[in-house]
């Protein structure tokens, strides 16, 4: 009675994984034959799902080359028995120690089986007629048994690769549109775009990495939201910008008599500040309670962050703050935080000798994520409470 060993030669013990793989190898094959090279191509595409590396598959390719013919058939001819030297030659001179490591990986992945002889060597015996009777080596039958699974995994891998390609394309186009729209908005004094451009640069940097499907989907969604916010901030109707060089100085009709040097920090919406996702440092009411002097520089009331940013831009030249220093503060801190900081400086103007230099110092700290106007506001509130007491 013929018996095929299910245990490994030598000191290698029997494990649950080994028994599970043996059971898989004895299972009925879904098809009588399978193209071995087509299976190898599918495995190359689905290697991550199967759990093997490209080097593992290089060794599998060498093993398959010892199987005669193109198709794997469900018979006794699926055991190959190359020597280590022959296998190394077909694996382009791979060292034997490396071969053993990759063969073990193929066995763990359930793609091949060891059929060890009594002495652990690989060979075949022949019967009296000269035909192959028994073979000891590597059994390729698991490939035939799992052919449908491998094909499905490869199909899913191709679909995922196509989806990643489409998502990457879409993200690149959205980021390009967002960047060019922000540059156009900045050139036409429609808002401070530094934060938005910085966010786009960060996303473009992430795109240079090899992202998985979920990460790429999150990045695409983030780019879509950013582009939508930019569209929301753009004017619904734009005047014709296609004039010649003599028309570049456009006429602005504005009843607001406040200066326009720092309009790059103005807001486009009461709830959304300039930049990508800027969040006000604290409630506006707290800032105004701590810095009541800022109210003296506007004829109306300060009802929104946009109002505070506009008044701060108006006050900044009076404190000796240059337009460049104010723009830099808006870029590094965000418009709301810059306006809050300026209101605090105005409130303490009697004790600050050089407000412009002080603002630049705070801007440098903000660039290194080492400054927030919150403590300044709270210090003014505590001082006011002490005076009231």
What is the phi/psi pair of residue 182, to 5°? -65, -40
Q: What is the pLDDT of residue 278?
A: 61
Token couple for 53: 């590396």
Instruction: Please tell me what DSSP assigns to residue 180.
Output: H
Q: What is the pLDDT of residue 41?
A: 94
The structure's pTM equals 0.50
Q: Residue 45: pLDDT above 70?
A: yes
Give whichever of 26-35, 148-157, 183-192, 229-238 has the largest mean pLDDT. 148-157
Q: How far apart are CA 265 and CA 262, in angstroms?
A: 6
- Residue 139: strand pairing partners: 79, 113
Q: Which residue has the tokens 């490396």?
A: 98
Closest CA to 36 of 55, 51, 57, 20: 57
CA atoms within 13 A on the CB side of 224: 10
- Residue 45: strand pairing partners: none
The per-residue pLDDT for range 149-164, each reduced to its tens digit, is 999 999 999 998 899 8
Architecture of domain 16-145: Orthogonal Bundle (1.10)
The per-residue pLDDT for range 257-308, each reduced to its tens digit, is 333 233 333 333 333 444 434 667 678 888 898 899 888 887 678 888 988 9
Q: How far apart are CA 171 and CA 211, in angstroms?
A: 13
Instruction: Please tell me what DSSP assigns to residue 14.
Output: P
All structural domains of the chain with their residue ranges: 16-145, 160-233, 262-388
Confidence of residue 194 (pLDDT cuts 50, 70, 90): confident
Helix, strand and coil content of the chain, in percent to the nearest 5, comes to 60, 5, 35
Q: How far apart are CA 100 and CA 119, in angstroms?
A: 17
What radius of gyration, in Å, describes the C-alpha atoms of the chain?
36
Percent residues over pLDDT 90 in the chain = 24
Q: How far apart are CA 311 and CA 307, in angstroms?
A: 6
Confidence of residue 209 (pLDDT cuts 50, 70, 90): confident
Confidence of residue 42 (pLDDT cuts 50, 70, 90): very high
Token couple for 192: 């401070």
Q: Residue 329: pLDDT above 90?
A: yes
Say which residue, 162 or 24, is predicted with more confidence. Answer: 162
| Overall average pLDDT of the 182-200 stretch | 77
Q: How far apart are CA 334 and CA 308, in angstroms?
A: 13
Confidence of residue 51 (pLDDT cuts 50, 70, 90): very high
Q: Residue 146: pLDDT above 50?
A: yes
Contact 211/219 with Cβ under 8 angstroms? yes
In terms of DSSP H, where are the helices of 188-322? 194-207, 213-233, 284-290, 305-315
Say which residue, 57 or 77, is predicted with more confidence. Answer: 57
């Amino acid at each position: 009675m013929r018996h095929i060993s299910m245990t490994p030669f030598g000191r290698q013990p029997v494990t649950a994984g080994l028994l599970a793989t043996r059971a898989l190898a004895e299972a009925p094959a879904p098809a009588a034959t399978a193209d071995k090279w087509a299976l190898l191509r599918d495995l190359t595409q689905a290697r991550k799902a199967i759990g093997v590396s490209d080097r593992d598959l290089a060794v599998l390719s060498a093993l398959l080359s010892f199987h005669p013919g193109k198709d794997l058939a469900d018979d006794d001819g699926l055991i190959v028995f190359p020597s280590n030297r022959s296998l190394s030659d077909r694996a382009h001179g791979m060292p034997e120690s490396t071969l053993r490591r990759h063969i073990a990986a193929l066995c763990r992945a359930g793609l091949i089986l060891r059929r060890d002889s009594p002495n652990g060597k690989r060979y075949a015996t022949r019967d009296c007629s000269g035909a192959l009777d028994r073979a000891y080596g590597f059994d390729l039958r698991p490939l035939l048994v799992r052919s449908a699974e491998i094909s499905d995994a490869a199909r899913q891998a191709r679909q995922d690769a196509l989806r990643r390609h489409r998502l990457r394309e879409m993200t690149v186009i959205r980021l390009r549109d967002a960047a060019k729209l922000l540059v156009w908005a900045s050139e036409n004094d429609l808002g401070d775009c530094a934060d938005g451009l910085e966010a786009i640069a960060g996303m473009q940097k992430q795109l240079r990495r090899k992202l998985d499907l979920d990460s790429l989907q999150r990045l695409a969604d983030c780019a879509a939201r950013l582009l939508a916010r930019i569209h929301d901030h753009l004017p619904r109707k734009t005047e014709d910008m296609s004039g010649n060089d003599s028309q570049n100085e456009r006429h602005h009709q504005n009843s607001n008599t406040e200066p326009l040097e720092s309009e790059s920090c103005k807001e486009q919406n009461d709830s959304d500040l300039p930049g990508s996702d800027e969040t006000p440092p604290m409630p506006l009411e707290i800032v105004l309670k701590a810095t009541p002097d800022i109210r003296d520089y506007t004829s109306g009331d300060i009802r929104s962050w946009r109002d505070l940013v506009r008044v701060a831009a108006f006050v900044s030249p009076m404190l000796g703050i240059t337009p460049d220093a104010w723009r830099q503060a808006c870029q590094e801190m965000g418009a709301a935080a810059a306006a809050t900081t300026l209101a605090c400086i105005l409130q303490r103007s009697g004790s600050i000798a050089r407000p412009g230099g002080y603002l630049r110092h705070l801007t440098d700290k903000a660039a290194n994520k080492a400054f927030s106007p919150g403590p300044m506001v709270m210090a003014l509130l505590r001082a006011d409470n002490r005076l009231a007491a």
